[in-house]
Amino acid sequence: MRRGIAASALVAALAVTLAACGSSGSSGGSAPAAGASVDPGKVSGSVTYWDTSDAKAEAPTYQAVIADFEKKYPNIKVNYVNVPFGDAQNKVKNAFSTGTDAPDVIRSEVAWTPELAADHYLLPLDGTSALVNPDDYLPNPVAATKYDGKTYAVPQVTDTMALFYNKKMFADAGITNPPKSVDELKADSLAIKQKLGKTGFYLRGDDAYWSLSFLYGEGGDLVDANSKTVTIDNPAGVKAFSLMKDLVDSGAAKTSVTDGWTNMMSDFQSGNVAMMINGPWSLATINSGGGAFTDKSNLGIAVVPAGSAAQAAPQGGQSYAIYAGSKNTAASEVFVQYMSSPEAQTKIFQGTGALPTRKSVWAQPEVADTDEAKFFKDAIDKAHQRPWIPEGGTLFAPLVTEYTAMLSGKESPQTAVKNAGDAYRKNLGWK
């Protein structure tokens, strides 16, 4: 008897809850008009900014730039929040989809922008004060801010990957030039192993982004967005995965499928490993970490080794994007305008080594004369464009699973790329 009443009470309570939740959705309305040309000095408000940069190595520089901004625009208050990159995409989507506690401006990774734009979360920025002098931006970073013909983000920093090497270890092993191809990479690594007893190359094994330059080198790619086909499991993909497996199996490279970043950085920093493929985002850590690079000139940077078909590394980077539901669009636009201004970009480059996205900044002597800029300018222009599609975010999860399975010997390179391809076909509905 008691149980009967319990059940009916539960049902009643449930019904009440469901009804309450059902009626909470509010009706649609018009979006606030994007701020036209207003005097930035007169804008007031507060801007919540979610930054995903490395909290220790990079964030202090961004905070210093933001402090400059607040000095220049005392009417605008910036609420800076550092969100770890790994959790950020989920947090952004959750906040944007409900509008509660959502940031006004985010640091959007290049692959997020098309997805967030397709979900209507981002404010189109063409013609607003956020996007000043659009022609000054490098074409490659700009390509990643477009969706369906509109601009949804302003490039903050751009990057690509390169071969980082320890010059002293090369000299000790009698190697004069950094390897130009994957074959030379293997030969040099084995020479280093033989002469120094150290490992030649660190292949980061827990993040499939580090496999892309090998894939592009063989002429492969994850997908072809134009013809809507999955290309990861074609012969080039198999070849690239086999090459990486061979590097590890032959002892030319070491890898680990957990804690790859920490292991790679500390091995390279301490001089246990002579080479790694990495991006400019690692410069802040290398330069501040001491070890083998206490003398900064010991660090060599070269183009990623070429495969049999090409020599290319993936294009990455970050952009500023404004939430379409922001209550502070005018202040946010002024904020983005300042943060992407030439003086801010110069300061960010000097503080973190992250590469600027404006042509005018690259032309400035204090940027152009640095070794990093000299090397990366060329690499940036040649960087391999990734597919800027809303589904870009689905590409890496299956690839990481198969990449780690391949490197740990659980699957053959053929099986690994085939499984990744099947997952893409299921997620994207492509051929």
Sole binder of another protein in the list 187, 191, 225, 405 (CB under 8 A) = 405
Pick the stretch among 124-132, 175-183, 332-340, 416-424 that binds another protein (CB under 8 A). Answer: 416-424
Sole binder of another protein in the list 267, 285, 319, 333 (CB under 8 A) = 267
> Per-residue string for binding with another protein, 75-114, x by CB under 8 A?
---------------x--x--xxxx--x------------
The yes or no reply on residue 388 touching another protein (CB under 8 A) is no
Sole binder of another protein in the list 23, 27, 37, 297 (CB under 8 A) = 27
* d(C-alpha 302, C-alpha 191), whole Å: 19
Sole binder of another protein in the list 63, 75, 266, 412 (CB under 8 A) = 266
HSE-CB at 408 with a 13 A cutoff on CA atoms is 13
Sole binder of another protein in the list 73, 281, 293, 323 (CB under 8 A) = 323
Residue 421, classified by CB atoms within 10 Å of its CB into exposed (0-12), middle (13-18) or buried (19+), is buried
Sole binder of another protein in the list 52, 213, 318, 326 (CB under 8 A) = 326
Report 30-49 residues binding another protein (CB under 8 A): 30-32
> Per-residue string for binding with another protein, 192-211, x by CB under 8 A?
-------------xx-----
Q: Which among 152, 217, 156, 151 is positioned nearest to 183, based on CA atoms?
A: 217
The number of residues that bind another protein (CB under 8 A) is: 70
Give Cβ neighbours of residue 162 (< 8 Å, ≥ 6 apart): 277, 278, 279, 280, 301, 302, 303, 304, 313, 375, 376, 379
CB 95, min distance to another protein, A: 11
Q: With respect to another protein, which residue has the nearer C-beta, 14 or 67?
A: 14
**Checking DSSP bridges between strand 150-151 and strand 146-147, what pairing results, if any?**
antiparallel
Q: With respect to another protein, which residue has the nearer C-beta, 335 or 376?
A: 335
Structure letter (DSSP) for residue 430: -
> Per-residue string for binding with another protein, 111-140, x by CB under 8 A?
----x--xxxx-------------------
Backbone φ, ψ for residue 228 (5° rounding) = 55, 50
- Here the tokens at position 300 are 């060599």
Give Cβ neighbours of residue 53 (< 8 Å, ≥ 6 apart): 59, 62, 82, 107, 318, 352
DSSP string covering 245-307, please?
Answer: HHHHHTTSEE--SSSHHHHHHHHHHTTSEEEEEE-GGGHHHHHHH-GGGSSGGGEEEEPPPB-
Residue ranges binding another protein (CB under 8 A):
1-2, 4-6, 9-10, 13-14, 17-18, 21, 25-32, 90, 93, 96-99, 102, 115, 118-121, 205-206, 255-259, 263, 266-267, 323-327, 390-391, 393-397, 400-402, 404-411, 419, 422-423, 426-427
